[in-house]
Structure 1
Amino acid sequence: MFVVTLKFAGNKAAAPHLMEGHNAWIRKGFEDGVFLLTGSLQSAAGNAGLGGAVLAHGISRTEIEARVAADPFVAEQVVSAEILEIAPGRLDERLAFLKG
């Protein structure tokens, strides 16, 4: 399982022009059954605008790296991506499908 953070970077101003492609990238992740959750990163004060995050599963590190690189926001340096891999250990039974 992977947690991907997408934090705004130097080319943040290009975000509005790339939003349609970014949303299509998100839609494809859900359609492919890879993305479980996407959302905005919140500051300590509860404000959005830091970037976003993705929870993904069912693919390899190589596959998630390729998928993240295909995000127009990543490709155009609107965001910088960090991919964190989690090897599930103890899980609530509602998340048992994540333990592979």
Structure 2
Amino acid sequence: MFIVFLKFSEHRDRAKDFMASHKAWVKQGIDDGVFLLVGSLKGNQGGCIVASGDDHSALETRVHQDPFVIEKVVQPEIQEFTPSMSTESLSFLINED
């Protein structure tokens, strides 16, 4: 599982120019079942995505297709983690090997 931070860069003022295509990219990630949660970082710092899957390389490729990343509106950071505890409603996210 991954947390993707998309933090605004010095080009954040260009976000409005690419918002529609960024939202389409987000929707595709949700439709593909890769993005589980998407939202904004507090303080208008950018966005955050909780993503599933076990292939860091494939997620990195996907993230670099985001129009915000391509146009340098945001700087991406991908952190991988292994969930070990959750509420019952999210227990399907725990990988029991």
TM-score of the two chains, using structure 2 as the length reference? 0.91
Aligned partner of 2:72 in structure 1 is: 77
Alignment of 1:24 onto 2:2 = no
- SS of equivalent residue, structure 2 residue 85: coil
Percent of aligned pairs with the same amino acid: 45
- SS of equivalent residue, structure 2 residue 7: strand
- Correspondences of 1:51-90 after superposition (within 5 Å): 51-90=46-85
User: Gapped runs of 5+ residues in structure 1?
Assistant: 44-48
Aligned length: 95
Which residue identity does 1:50 align to in structure 2? Answer: Q
Which residue identity does 1:16 align to in structure 2? Answer: K
After TM superposition, what 4+ stretches of structure 1 lie above 4 angstroms from structure 2? none
Which residue identity does 2:61 align to in structure 1? Answer: A
Which residue identity does 1:35 align to in structure 2? Answer: F
Aligned partner of 2:33 in structure 1 is: 33
TM-score of the two chains, using structure 1 as the length reference? 0.88
Distance in structure 2 (CA, Å) of the matches to 1:90 and 1:39 = 22
User: Gapped runs of 5+ residues in structure 2?
Assistant: none
CA RMSD, Structure 1 to Structure 2 (Å): 1.1
CA drift at 1:58: 2.3
